Structure 1
Amino acid sequence: MLQTARSYLGYHEGAGNQNRFSAAMGRPAESWCADFVAAVAAESGNAGRYPDTASCSVARDWFERRGRLSLYPAIGAQVLFGTPEGPYGPGGEHTGLVLAYTSDSITVVAGNTNNDGSANGDGVYRRTYQRRSRYVNSYGYPDFPEGLVTADPAWRGRAGVRYFGHQADESDLPAPLIPRQVVIDGRPYGPGAVGDHITTLGRMLVAAGCSHYTEGPGPVWGPADTESFRQYQLSIGDTGADADGIPGPRQLHRLEADYGDQI
């Protein structure tokens, strides 16, 4: 996620807020800081872990409803800027992604911003802010299957959480989970799996509204199968390691029961 976000450092918008991130999300040219986060999430295989919205206020509410909004930074968190008395309300003015934090500051990569302090954003920049500024409202925590690095003491001891109270950066993140192959009912699923049952699985995922296919489902398991199944896992309320894009027996059997007769 963060590697993809950093790859756009130096990108500049066109005239009238024309930018690739809003376009990638199917939205018009607009203020695009939240579109940047959503588009990077989709490109990096993290759709569903961040809200698909152009509104910072909606993004804040999205995390809050899921119990994943904090006053403390975390690596990869979606930071939400804006004071309660501001024109867009708490956390409704601007957003970006946390690359690092110390006891006093956060380092962020964000779209529709600048490096001169003006209110007119024009590109993707790395910025540093004071952690305790009233402008820094809150942080939305993505549900990474490999876990989370956070400064929030209330999250200390949770499964998959690494607590770094004073400072952390990307080097402190746990290694990403490597998708593995599983066998369910005698058939393989996951990277390297081949067979007509993979095509059938893909068609059920399309019927479930969880398609990430740019072409129709096929018999060879590919990244689109992983992303589509992960979207299905999220849609039925699974999170963390249970939403890694690889079927479990319970998940597969539920998909078959609900959508097997629709293909």
Structure 2
Amino acid sequence: MNCFPDEVIELIFDYVTSQRDRNVISLVCKNWYRLERCSRKSVFIGNCYSISPERVIERFPELKSLALKGKPHFADFNLVPRGWGGFVYPWIEAFAKSKVDLEELRLKRMVVTDEGLELLTRSFMNFKSLVLVSCEGFTTVGLAAIAANCRFLKELDLQENEVDDPKGQWLSCFPDCISLVSLNFACLKGQINLGALEGLVARSPNLKSLRLNHTVPLSALQRILSRAPQLVDLGIGSFVHHPASETCTNLKNTIKKCDSITSLSGFFEVAPRCKNITSST
């Protein structure tokens, strides 16, 4: 393949999406190492202490997407002492100083602070996706900064995080015109501003996936569905209404009118029998 121009080889490399395969490609020869280095857009690091952020930036200068894991998996069972580490702020700071155009950040079992999230919003103008899984240390103040300043945000996914909610108004910080495709805040325990939520959904014509927490009532769900018939995935934290109630009946009828929905989560007992629904829990 070395007989091909570098541009052709780079195009071929673009079709190789597996991180492991990309690593193997870079070991073939010096030329492939160079081309792979400059064309790699995403990196997964299974241990945030296995390499420094500066080395990652040097190795992959055109990086757009970063996935990081912090604490070991047994931290989920409270078997890791407090203060163990797993801080993401040094990574955000290093990327910000190097002026990497980061667009996507996926973190698992990391310590995330509001200061780190605010730095993220100030440093990466084209930021589009934030996924936090089993993270801690941040509040909805940091989420408000993400909502207000990341103008091209497409995905905000919060899974099993410990989040403090001192104000409960972070949803109202989203701008008037947004490109949001996926929103998941099912792990939040605080009350949600229903007016801000409904307004956000109405301003998000591209929204496909919406996962809500247990404080959103079924009556609000009905209004949300009427404003977002394009939803494909809808979830709510818990269901406490009687399946035969008028509220549930109205919700069923609304869901039946939404031909695009294929997945319902959190209210299995009231899920209507629709051919298009392939997943219901």
- TM-score, length-scaled by structure 1: 0.23
Larger radius of gyration: 2
Structure with the higher fraction of residues in helix conformation: 2
- TM-score, length-scaled by structure 2: 0.22
